[in-house]
C-alpha cells in the first residue's frame, strides 16, 4: 500500500465518506493546476457536496499531511496574494502594500485572508511545488492570484492581449528590451516579487529613443509613475530578487482591469475560525499570544440554562449532570451543523460564533426545538435555554491558550442573552435585519418584536428583538 493509500484509509475513518471520495478522485484524476490552492467552496459546488463536510475533510487531510493548508493574505483590489503562511501567525504587520494597486491595506480576516489546500508531495508531486519552474500564465493562475480570483480558461489569450513584452529573468541577470510605446497607461510588473513601475505614456509621439531602468527587488520601496512619450523605449530590467522573476509590460486598459476584478466565493479565515472541526483539531495552532487580528463582522450566540442551580437541587446531581451533558451535546451538534463553532463553555453557558447572522438564527431555532424535544421525552420542563445573538466587529486573539474573541460586540451579545427569561430568543437589529435571516423568519411564520432595552455596562439603550 502506498503512503497516499494509507493516508486516505485513515481519512475515511475521520471525515465524511462522500467528501473523502471526492478528494481522492481529485488527487487521482485532477490536473496539477486543480491540486494547487484548492478553493474548497468552488470544489464543493462542482461536486454537488455540502460545504461543511467537505471543509472538514480537507482539514483532516491537512492534519494528516495529505494536503498543505495555507493562509493567504489577499489584495482586495487585484486579488493577488500579498503574503502566505502555514498559520495566521505569519501576518504580524499592521499594513500590507500592493504595489500593483499602489494601495496599503490593514489586514482583516473577513475577505482579505483566504484558506486554501494544496496536495502534499507525499501524496502527489505537482508542478506548483516548484513554482520557479512554472510558465508565466501558470504562475499567475496558481501562485500570484488567490483562489477567489475567477480566472477564465482562456487566461493565456487574455494575457496576450494586454502584454507588450514578457521575459523570464534568472536571478542576477539583466534584460534589455526595445519597445514601441503606445499612448496608454502601462505597468511594468513582476508577479513573483510584486515589484511595479507605472508608465504614463502620453503627449506628442517621439522618434528619439527613451531609456528606463527598472530594478526588480522585493525590498525596494514602491515606485511612482514615470511620464514618457509614445515612441521607442530602451527598457532595462535588473533582477536582484535572488530567484527567477517574470517581469512584463502590461497595458492597463479595460481588459486588464476586468481580469483583475473577476471574483468568486472562497473560504475565508473568518469562516474557518468559526468551523468546529478546525477548532477541534487545530486548537492553539492559530495565533500568537500578542496578535490582534480584526474581523469586521462576526455573529456571536450565547446560551445559558435557566434555573440550572435549582435543577440540581430538584432532581439531584446525577440526573442533572446527565441532563446538562445531553444539552451540551445537542448544542455542539447544532452549532457545527450550521457552520458555527463553540468558542468556550462557562458553567452551563455556551459562547459560539457563526460567519453570518442567518446561520446563528437557524442554529438558535433548532436548539430551541431540540430542547423542547428533550423535555417532551422526560415529560417535564426542566430545561429552558436562554439564547442571545449579536453581530459586529471584533478582534481575534489568543487567551488562556485558546483562540478567542474580544471587543464590545462580544460584550453586547452576552448582555443580550441575559435579557432572555423564557424560550424566546433575543437578537439585535443587525441580526434580525440580515436578508437571509429575514427569509428564515418569513418561512417559519415568526415575527420578531422590537424592544428598546438597557444593557448592563452599555451606555445607550439598544434596540433588541424578541423572537417568540
- pTM for the model stands at 0.90
Which region among 3-7, 37-41, 256-260 has the lowest average model confidence (pLDDT)? 3-7
State the helix-helix crossing angle for 357-378 and 317-337, rounded to 10 degrees: 150
Residues in the chain: 468
- Among candidate residues 369, 365, 331, 373, the one with its CA nearest the CA of residue 439: 365
Give the span between the Cα atoms of 200 and 422, in whole angstroms. 67
The string of pLDDT tens digits covering residues 288-300 is: 777 889 999 999 9
Query: Is the pLDDT confidence value at 308 over 70?
Result: no
* Mean pLDDT comparison of 34-38, 95-99, 344-348, highest-scoring range: 34-38
- Percent of the chain residues past pLDDT 90, beyond the cut: 75
Domain ranges in the chain? 3-148, 158-261, 279-467
The string of pLDDT tens digits covering residues 411-447 is: 999 999 988 888 889 999 999 999 999 999 999 999 9
The mean per-residue pLDDT over the stretch 383-390 comes to 90
The mean per-residue pLDDT over the stretch 66-82 comes to 95
Q: Which residue has the higher pLDDT, 126 or 153?
A: 126
Mean pLDDT rounded to a whole number for the chain: 91
CATH of domain 279-467: 3.30.70.1230
SS3 helix, strand, coil % of the chain, rounded to 5?
35, 30, 35
Q: What is the DSSP letter of 282?
A: H
Strand pairing of 196-201 and 225-228? parallel
The string of pLDDT tens digits covering residues 169-228 is: 999 999 999 999 999 999 999 999 999 999 999 999 999 999 999 999 888 766 789 999
- C-alpha cell recorded at residue 421: 427569561
Q: What is the DSSP letter of 229?
A: -
- The position carrying cell 422590537 is 450
Give the span between the Cα atoms of 212 and 199, in whole angstroms. 10
Identify the three-state secondary structure at position 357: helix
Are the beta carbons of 319 and 380 closer than 8 angstroms?
no
pLDDT for 211: 96
Amino acid at each position: 500500500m502506498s503512503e497516499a493509500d494509507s493516508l486516505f484509509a485513515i481519512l475515511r475513518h475521520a471525515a465524511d465518506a462522500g467528501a473523502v471520495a471526492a478528494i481522492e478522485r481529485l488527487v487521482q484524476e485532477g490536473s496539477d493546476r486543480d491540486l494547487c490552492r484548492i478553493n474548497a467552496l468552488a470544489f464543493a459546488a462542482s461536486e454537488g457536496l455540502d460545504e461543511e463536510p467537505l471543509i472538514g475533510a480537507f482539514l483532516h487531510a491537512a492534519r494528516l499531511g495529505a494536503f498543505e493548508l495555507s493562509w493567504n493574505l489577499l489584495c482586495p483590489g487585484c486579488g493577488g496574494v500579498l503574503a502566505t503562511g502555514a498559520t495566521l501567525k505569519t501576518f504580524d504587520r499592521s499594513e500590507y502594500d500592493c504595489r500593483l494597486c499602489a494601495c496599503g491595506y490593514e489586514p482583516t480576516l473577513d475577505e482579505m485572508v483566504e484558506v486554501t489546500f494544496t496536495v502534499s508531495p507525499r501524496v502527489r508531486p505537482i508542478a506548483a511545488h516548484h513554482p520557479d519552474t512554472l510558465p508565466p500564465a501558470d504562475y499567475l493562475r496558481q501562485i500570484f492570484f488567490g483562489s477567489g480570483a475567477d480566472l477564465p480558461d482562456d487566461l493565456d489569450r487574455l494575457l496576450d492581449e494586454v502584454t507588450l513584452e514578457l521575459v523570464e529573468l534568472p536571478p542576477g541577470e539583466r534584460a534589455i528590451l526595445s519597445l514601441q510605446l503606445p499612448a496608454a497607461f502601462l505597468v511594468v510588473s513582476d508577479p513573483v516579487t510584486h515589484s511595479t513601475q507605472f508608465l504614463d505614456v502620453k503627449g506628442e509621439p517621439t522618434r528619439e529613443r527613451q531609456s528606463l531602468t527598472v530594478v526588480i527587488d522585493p525590498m525596494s520601496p514602491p515606485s511612482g509613475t514615470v511620464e514618457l512619450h509614445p515612441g521607442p523605449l530602451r527598457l532595462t530590467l535588473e533582477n536582484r530578487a535572488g530567484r527567477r522573476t517574470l517581469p512584463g509590460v502590461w497595458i492597463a486598459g479595460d481588459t486588464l482591469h476586468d481580469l483583475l476584478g473577476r471574483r468568486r466565493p472562497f473560504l475565508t479565515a473568518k469562516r474557518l475560525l468559526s468551523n468546529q472541526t478546525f477548532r477541534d483539531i487545530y486548537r492553539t495552532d492559530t495565533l500568537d499570544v500578542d496578535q490582534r487580528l480584526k474581523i469586521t463582522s462576526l455573529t456571536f450566540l450565547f446560551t445559558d440554562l435557566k434555573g440550572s442551580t435549582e435543577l440540581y437541587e430538584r432532581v439531584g446531581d446525577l440526573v442533572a449532570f446527565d441532563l446538562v451533558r445531553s444539552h451540551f451535546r445537542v448544542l455542539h451538534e447544532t452549532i457545527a451543523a450550521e457552520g458555527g463553532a463553540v468558542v468556550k463553555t462557562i458553567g452551563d453557558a455556551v459562547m459560539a460564533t457563526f460567519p453570518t447572522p442567518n446561520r446563528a438564527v437557524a442554529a438558535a431555532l433548532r436548539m430551541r426545538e431540540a430542547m423542547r424535544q428533550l423535555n417532551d421525552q422526560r415529560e417535564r420542563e426542566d430545561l429552558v435555554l436562554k439564547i442571545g445573538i449579536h453581530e459586529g466587529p471584533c478582534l481575534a486573539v489568543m487567551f488562556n491558550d485558546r483562540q478567542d474573541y474580544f471587543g464590545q460586540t462580544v460584550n453586547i451579545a452576552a448582555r443580550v442573552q441575559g435579557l432572555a427569561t423564557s424560550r424566546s430568543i433575543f437578537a439585535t437589529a443587525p441580526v434580525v435585519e440580515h436578508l437571509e435571516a429575514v427569509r428564515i423568519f418569513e418561512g417559519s411564520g415568526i415575527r420578531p418584536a422590537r424592544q428598546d432595552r438597557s444593557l448592563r455596562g452599555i451606555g445607550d439603550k439598544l434596540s433588541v428583538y424578541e423572537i417568540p
